[in-house]
Structure 1
């Protein structure tokens, strides 16, 4: 085998590259110059496209090929003839104003080799819109399509489009301000750290002095357009610029159906309700089918920490059970309870280690990974899929709780063994105090935190007054509401009876 065939290709940091023999490098092929009136542009991502400044045409096709060039020009000429005919129709008066100066619009031609015909649309920088001619009528697209066009074709610009910088700075100003006030439910799609980096990149591009300002317009425009595409997606979803605009994203979780509540009641006996906590956290990352990636990443990081802590506690329980089993004089019940505790602790360790391996790298999960994870068992339905996932996620904690209960049973049985009446009374009193303390702790922290929302923030009647009463699901509050309603109904019945008696008397 030759020496050249055994050389390895190393991909890494540029500092690790070694200079290769220039003679062995393949020759560089020089691209031909584009035809007259055409200019070749290389996108920041390496893609090529061509522009014709005289005719305001842009195309991603290789116009160096004579046949492709002829197809592009023919498609554009045919389209101009069609538009010219349409402009003579009576419906011309209802056309959008951006078509008044049709000749100065930017025209994009693509898919000239498609069986369905070429795709042509027009760009108005004055009105910031995209125009398609579908079925012989102009159709104005959303502004996010305009930003997407700028993201795809930024390199031929020497001047930033009208108000593009103002829109970019305004959007980031509002989003960064929301993040400063720690409003996690805002509709803005970027985190505080992302806002900082986006502003830093923008300021670095604006403040550089290496290249002429005209040459820096393209990267600045691409940076602005890429950010605004994501901003406009969120704005469109939450009806930005309308009377129904919302400043908070979807956070309401629908109330569980009867079947889910019955399943929760059954699982409470086995999982101690731990699955409810995990399901609530999963539901906060996927609301109404929309996955919030930053929240998902934060959840994965917190889960890994929890499982690491549970593994440590389970290891301590295994050691405690081993020490307990070596104590002489324990009976069969105590031994069985201690062995069960050891098995539960080992289960918690094994499942916890597995979960840590599976989720350790997902603290920086991509949107596709987060969506696939949350929709992994979507076949069970939107109400049950997260419940199934939550059950598996809660296994390390649940096994640890069962291990603690089993070990408590073993210790309790050992304490009662061979005790006289005074000892049994003392142990019973201590056990009663422990139960009272445990129940008090559970009742005190029962629904101490804000309950899950079942309606959106803006749907609250107090939202427009500047304050909002947090939703509560405390059993005491529910009992008070039920009592008030029952009292009101009783008063209504009493009033109706009195009116009926008065009518009979008359």
Structure 2
């Protein structure tokens, strides 16, 4: 007996030591950002093996004893694997504390981590790397459990005692293996693709068969069908939602296992949840189980872990406040309702609030040229007409109307988050930036003259419609339409210029070759014009095709992440214009060389006069772009007035300085 006790104590000590060494080594790896630490990885693997070996002798009190080899693999599998994406652990700027509802906590109680070593271990333990899932992957079969209802005990989420308990108890993902905190927008319903074998049907419809009911899931689960066709399941007694296929035994046992583990955690650590709370579980493609809680009274989602919302907040690059994050959490709440629209009635005042938002959006689009609404006026009017037809008392069975309302509410809540609604630096116009203006790079200053400054015009348009990495859908559609029409016109002009060059070279006096087989300057300039004309046609056709097939708003949003990205895109958009201008210039040079080399004096005089007049007209047209004040005089007179005014100011300034110096010397 004494020997067994000593051996048991030895394994407990070895388990504790191995776990501490593993945790310290992980922290060190994260801090140094080392991707090539081969020996450290081997040491980490050895320590994990030692940790697992010690766990084989000591049954963890927070999980049931394994009943089969598969169960043993699950029980011994650690909840965190070695570093898979160390850079991903440093992208976060905000951590939402647990288990309280983060939207309604005072600023003084909001715990925001800022890059401590503990932060990396917590985030890594709750992240889901989502590796590709093997088609032969099978989840571990677990012993069936009797469904245990989750406690529904109201609590004051802002109480000091509860906050102290939150800091002392471990997080849920650290206790329950293979559990990961996810957001509703990270739900994998639309990424989950179930493949069925191709086979000939042998189903026979029996006589007098008039009903074809759905397969009923085991009690207490109830199956619901989303308007889009997806099947999900709801346990009304325990307020649990999932779209794992409960009709299959493996999926049902996995879900019941995680429910039991979460219930054990709530009971063991005395966690009290609000009354109107639902638990959502999802069997993810990585083999892990995602979860989140929904609080309908506060219209928010929350977790029992420190959640890293970097993927939810990455569209806005600011120092977040709790109220700002609250807008995105409300958007997550409405998106959850869109995923599961049939289990609850439409909340009170939802239709009224949505009507009010749509009416304001319609009025803003009608009266403002820079509205922040991301829909066109026609789309908004159609939305308002549909929302007006929705009856509030239709009940949960009207899932189509509910899904539409929830989607609009999620969209408008997310728009409020993007535009900093209710914040000090709220964006009021779609072309208003909340960040300092970015300076032009050396690339733009060098390339612009060779592109006849067409890239500058395109750059202004791109900057105006991709403010702060956000692209407005109506603006993108309008820009795409204008660009394609412009490129098509350039292609047409280039075709005309190409024909003109071919006809010009067909002139016998121009086509005559000098001795030794060389070409004249007239021919060379015309050849260059032909090449640029063909370049306009090829580049223009390629740009039109790409922007009608592959390129979309996300492409422009990614390009707007840096000044160089937008500048290179502006230069690419101006290529048809620049090549056409080079072709026109080279054709004019070729034609002028032919005229000046003819030796005919009247021809030379007329050509010279035409060139001078053309240059003056070009300067006149160019000067219009620089008019920023009321027009009282022609451009030359305005420049003379400005120069004369500056000279007078300098003279008066020098006289005043002389008078000041004389007074100082006399004193």
Give yes or no for TM over 0.5: yes
Q: Distance in 2 between matches of 1:174 and 1:71?
A: 48
Equivalent position SS for 2:626: coil
Q: Distance in 2 between matches of 1:180 and 1:355?
A: 33
Equivalent position SS for 1:33: coil
Q: Distance in 2 between matches of 1:344 and 1:62?
A: 61
Out of 343-352 and 231-240, give the one that drifted further.
Answer: 343-352
What TM-score does the superposition give when structure 2 sets the normalisation length?
A: 0.54
Alpha-carbon displacement from aligned partner over 1:366-419 (angstroms, at most 9, x marks no partner): xxx43236646x9xx822222223323322221211111122122223333445
Q: Distance in 2 between matches of 1:44 and 1:492?
A: 83
Match of 2:619 among 435, 439, 450: 439
Runs of 5+ unmatched residues, structure 2 = 1-199, 206-211, 308-321, 513-519, 630-637
Match for residue 145 of structure 1?
A: 332
Whether 1:107 aligns to 2:107 is no
Q: Distance in 1 between matches of 2:287 and 2:471?
A: 37
- Contact 1:72–1:112 (8 Å) recurs in 2: no
Q: Distance in 2 between matches of 1:151 and 1:432?
A: 68
- Contact 1:155–1:218 (8 Å) recurs in 2: yes
Match for residue 53 of structure 1?
A: 236
Equivalent position SS for 2:563: coil
Whether 1:336 aligns to 2:519 is no
Alpha-carbon displacement from aligned partner over 1:263-317 (angstroms, at most 9, x marks no partner): 3343234221122222333333433222334323332222221121111111111
Q: Distance in 2 between matches of 1:303 and 1:118?
A: 44
Cα distance change on mapping 1:382 and 1:420 into 2, 3 Å: same
Note the C-alpha offset of 1:350: 2.4
Cα distance change on mapping 1:245 and 1:375 into 2, 3 Å: closer
Equivalent position SS for 1:58: strand
Match for residue 67 of structure 1?
A: 253
1:86-485 equivalences under 5 Å are 86=271, 102-103=274-275, 105-111=276-282, 119-125=291-297, 127-134=298-305, 142-157=329-344, 159-183=345-369, 185-203=370-388, 205-206=390-391, 213-214=394-395, 217-249=398-430, 251-252=432-433, 257=439, 260=441, 262-330=442-510, 332-361=520-549, 369-372=552-555, 375=558, 382-418=562-598, 421=601, 424-446=604-626
What TM-score does the superposition give when structure 1 sets the normalisation length?
A: 0.69
Cα distance change on mapping 1:353 and 1:68 into 2, 3 Å: closer
- Contact 1:43–1:154 (8 Å) recurs in 2: yes
- Contact 2:469–2:557 (8 Å) recurs in 1: no
Cα distance change on mapping 1:448 and 1:406 into 2, 3 Å: farther
Q: Distance in 2 between matches of 1:56 and 1:266?
A: 64
- Contact 1:62–1:68 (8 Å) recurs in 2: no
Note the C-alpha offset of 1:494: 4.5
- How many residue pairs get aligned? The number is 419
Q: Distance in 1 between matches of 2:437 and 2:525?
A: 39
Q: Distance in 2 between matches of 1:154 and 1:491?
A: 78
Note the C-alpha offset of 1:169: 1.1
Match for residue 170 of structure 2?
A: none
- Contact 1:112–1:119 (8 Å) recurs in 2: no
- Contact 1:250–1:288 (8 Å) recurs in 2: no
Cα distance change on mapping 1:353 and 1:73 into 2, 3 Å: closer
Q: Distance in 2 between matches of 1:416 and 1:432?
A: 14
Out of 398-407 and 341-350, give the one that drifted further.
Answer: 341-350
